[in-house]
Amino acid sequence: MAESPNGAAKFTVLVADDNEVAQRLCKRVLEKAGYGVLIAADGLQAVDIALAQKPSMILMDVAMPGIDGLEAMRRIKTEVPAMPIVIASAHSMASDRERFLAAGADNVLSKPFRLADLISIVEQLAHAGSM
């Protein structure tokens, strides 16, 4: 994990999404809020980056090329069970949310989500991890 200027470990978010606009938007908003950001463009890349760089949390899109976000999440949680993963999905019915949580997600953001909601979830996880 990268160090922030005050010497504390910086809270880093891996944004796993194949949509470049979504990647850039999330990156800009999270960096402006003071978080480090890593980007993965597909599920396999998300698994590789998560296991190699151990981000503080992952924002995982479900529909991605290669392996989907749920399979990527399963692989990551097998290796790092405590890794917080927030699923971002356009599938926003209650049954989808329950399915994502049952699969191991720590939270679910329905797309399109408000950037304020993203920051709120990241802040909750950042504070939970620093206690």
Task: Look at the chain and report how many structural domains it folds into.
Answer: 1
DSSP-derived pairing of the beta strands 107-110 and 36-40: unpaired
3-state helix, strand, coil in the chain (%, to 5): 45, 20, 35
In a domain? residue 53: yes
Flag whether pLDDT at 130 surpasses 70: no
Instruction: CATH number of the domain at 69, please.
Output: 3.40.50.2300
Flag whether pLDDT at 6 surpasses 60: no
In a domain? residue 98: yes
In a domain? residue 25: yes
What is the tens place of the pLDDT at every residue in 33-46?
999 999 999 999 99
Q: Which domain holds residue 122?
A: 12-126
Tell which residue, 89, 98, 37, 82, has the closest CA to residue 60: 89
Q: What is the pLDDT of residue 7?
A: 44
Q: What is the pLDDT of residue 93?
A: 83
Q: What is the pLDDT of residue 2?
A: 45
CA geometry: angle at 62 spanning 41 and 83, to 5°?
A: 80
In a domain? residue 3: no
First-to-last alpha carbon distance for the chain, in angstroms, is 17
Flag whether pLDDT at 122 surpasses 60: yes
What is the tens place of the pLDDT at every residue in 79-110?
999 999 999 998 768 899 999 999 999 999 99
